[in-house]
Structure 1
Amino acid sequence: MAIEWRPSAEIETLKARARLLARVREFFAKRDVLEVETPTLGQGGSTDVHLASLSALTRTDKGLRRLWLQTSPEFHMKRLLAAGSGPIFQLARSFRDGEVGGRHNIEFTMLEWYRPAMTLPALIDETAALVNALMPGAPQVVKRYRYRSLFETHLAIDPFTAPLEALRHLAEQRGQMAPQSLADEPRETCLDLLMSVVIEPTLGRGEISAVVDYPASQAALARRHQDEEGEWVASRFELYVAGMELANGYDELTNPFEQRARFVEDNAERARQGLEPVDIDERLLAALEHGMPDGSGVALGIDRLIQLALGKARLEEVLAFSTPRC
């Protein structure tokens, strides 16, 4: 049986990809945002229950140590911010185990940037401007939607107050899952399924859609605030084009004590779900304790944006070698 050695993408596609990446660098150079490079390996990983971090046992000067392949360059970049870097961006190799499909690859490129003193609404506008810079034919209109309003419009439920059993039943029904398949799943799993199957495909159609005011439990490394109804929500957004999630932005949490508490709670939830714990990044927490400037940051799946810009059906078509061919 012949071994498939050829690249996943056509050579002309890779040339087009290189031109688009050059536009990214030009976009940030015009805005005086510094390009940085940070390690792919770190002494801590992402504790997020919804992410599967990869790790490696490495021989170091301190003996055999486990280091974590980064799910995004966030932790190292925040340490640079705390050291006084000012606004920064990075095109970083990132890794998430088990993420394979038409829009996913275990190894991928993340475009991440941080803007000290910039508000979240301003960062939404800048993210949309980047999309337009790489996709001249993309919609110019940016529309903002509250998470709660989307669920009320598309599913006739309030995601903050609906009983868990009702959410499980609706998620099984609309997600075309087997009866009782979500019987033991938590609230967030049901909401994520409904969001991805029912709501996301409607977003970014003839516009760039920005979703805001996610449940506070989905804040991760973002601040929280109270919405119009007095509900605590995450100070973050997600950006969609053509039914595809492209970016996830935060009003960044800078409190080291709250961040540590979230990491600990994540690992407790991982234990409840039978998942392996992930080492907490103590260097990030030390940087936050030193003092990181207030501001916003965003992570954008640049492979997905290139896929859209070049009109490709699958992510592997814009990667030199996708996971099955690496």
Structure 2
Amino acid sequence: MPAPRNNDTFRHEDATSPRARLAAVRRRAALLAEARAFFGERGYLEVETPVLARVGAADAQLAQFALNDPVLGTLYLQTSPEYAMKRLIMAGSGSIFQITKAFRQGEVGRFHNPEFTLVEWYGLGYDHRRLIAEACALIARLVPSLQASARIISYRDAFRDALNIDPIEDPTDRLRAVAYDCLASARKLTLDDRDEILDLLMSHAVAPGFATKALTVVTDYPASQASLARLNAQGLADRFEIYRGSLELANGFHEASRAEEYAERFAHEAAKRRERGLPSIDPDHRLLAALTQGRLPDCAGCALGFDRVLMLAMDAAHIDEVLAFPIAQA
């Protein structure tokens, strides 16, 4: 591998030399085998679902690759196998996992490649708390240098500790003022959307304070950020995100189960798309039809960014270092 980060002679291109690429290929193979062993020990079934489908993700924040086929019409490269995996669960698959390629448009940078490897799994009978323990155990198994125990903190307390604001109760004007005050880059932006402000503060002012030697798990998100997670008795989302320092590694939900919830969430995201002038995406009618025939069994699901975990395992500074051929070389 290349010289350590504190060596002034280090150049990023050294990390993507043929020799370094082969080292990353071998380490990737070893960790993929370790991940499969982890799920096998827990009785999960490995599945495979399409990466090219007729529907895309509902989430308005995700920029998706759309392809136009002369016969089939618009097809989407999947940002996650979530919808298809839930259909398998409702068909009786039991607890399942998948290691797959996922795609997001316009995401290129130190921690982003438009094509990336995702580990996604669903534990039947799990709530998000049980899945947090399992996800942290998987990450610690793949990256033994991380401390085994994780700090679990609510979304509200994370903001209170870092910025002395309440992201649930404080008015949007206060959140905006804090963003303008503590983030110079925010002063160039027009911040009208509350969740956009919170996302900006989380990534640039809250998460940078998280520990780098251990994992931090953020729980109990605002209902407006529930995506397809259940809402608890306090009206907060049973959702979590796992960080190492400021780097997000995984996110998961105690999954919503009723067709009405999914239809409402899809409609909400469609409205956001219209407001932002984004292309419309039809809801996943097959998933909704399956949910109409019967609820999704009680389960929790998690998506783990495998390339980022591999970066930690190899002490890599850039995602390109752990990819055989990053987008610039593909």
- Is TM-score (shorter-chain normalized) higher than 0.5? yes
CA–CA separation in structure 2 for the residues paired with 1:221 and 1:178: 29
| Unpaired runs of at least 5, structure 1 | none
Using the size of structure 2 for normalisation, the TM-score is 0.91
Instruction: Say yes or no: does 1:98 pair with 2:106.
Output: yes
Give yes or no for contact 1:209–1:241 (8 Å, CA) kept in 2.
yes
CA–CA separation in structure 1 for the residues paired with 2:186 and 2:141: 43
CA–CA separation in structure 1 for the residues paired with 2:19 and 2:180: 35
Secondary structure of the corresponding residue to residue 304 of structure 1: helix
Shift of 1:7: 6.2
1:7/1:163 CA distance change after superposition, 3 Å = farther
The runs of at least 4 aligned residues of structure 1 exceeding 4 Å deviation read: 5-9
Q: Percent identity?
A: 44
Instruction: Say yes or no: does 1:221 pair with 2:221.
Output: no
Give yes or no for contact 1:47–1:277 (8 Å, CA) kept in 2.
no
Give yes or no for contact 1:168–1:182 (8 Å, CA) kept in 2.
no
CA–CA separation in structure 1 for the residues paired with 2:72 and 2:227: 30
Shift of 1:173: 2.5
Using the size of structure 1 for normalisation, the TM-score is 0.92
Shift of 1:178: 5.4
Give yes or no for contact 1:150–1:199 (8 Å, CA) kept in 2.
yes
Shift of 1:175: 2.2
1:135 equivalent among 134, 143, 161: 143
2:28 equivalent among 5, 10, 17: 17
Give yes or no for contact 1:171–1:177 (8 Å, CA) kept in 2.
no
CA–CA separation in structure 2 for the residues paired with 1:183 and 1:240: 28
Aligned to 1:72: 80
CA–CA separation in structure 2 for the residues paired with 1:113 and 1:127: 10
User: Cα deviations across residues 26-70 of structure 1 (Å, max 9, x unaligned)?
Assistant: 1111111111110001221112121111111124xxx34111111
Aligned to 2:323: 319
Aligned to 1:236: 239
Give yes or no for contact 2:48–2:98 (8 Å, CA) kept in 1.
yes
CA–CA separation in structure 2 for the residues paired with 1:158 and 1:318: 38
Aligned to 2:117: 109
1:177 equivalent among 168, 171, 185: 185
Instruction: Say yes or no: does 1:160 pair with 2:168.
Output: yes
Give yes or no for contact 1:213–1:237 (8 Å, CA) kept in 2.
yes
Shift of 1:243: 2.8
CA–CA separation in structure 2 for the residues paired with 1:106 and 1:16: 21
Shift of 1:206: 3.2
Question: Number of residue pairs matched?
Answer: 314
Alignment RMSD, CA only? 1.7
Q: Which amino acid aligns with 2:140?
A: N
CA–CA separation in structure 1 for the residues paired with 2:88 and 2:18: 35
2:69 equivalent among 58, 61, 64: 58
Give yes or no for contact 1:226–1:233 (8 Å, CA) kept in 2.
yes
CA–CA separation in structure 1 for the residues paired with 2:271 and 2:192: 16
Q: Which amino acid aligns with 2:194?
A: R
Give yes or no for contact 1:134–1:309 (8 Å, CA) kept in 2.
yes
Q: Which amino acid aligns with 1:10?
A: R
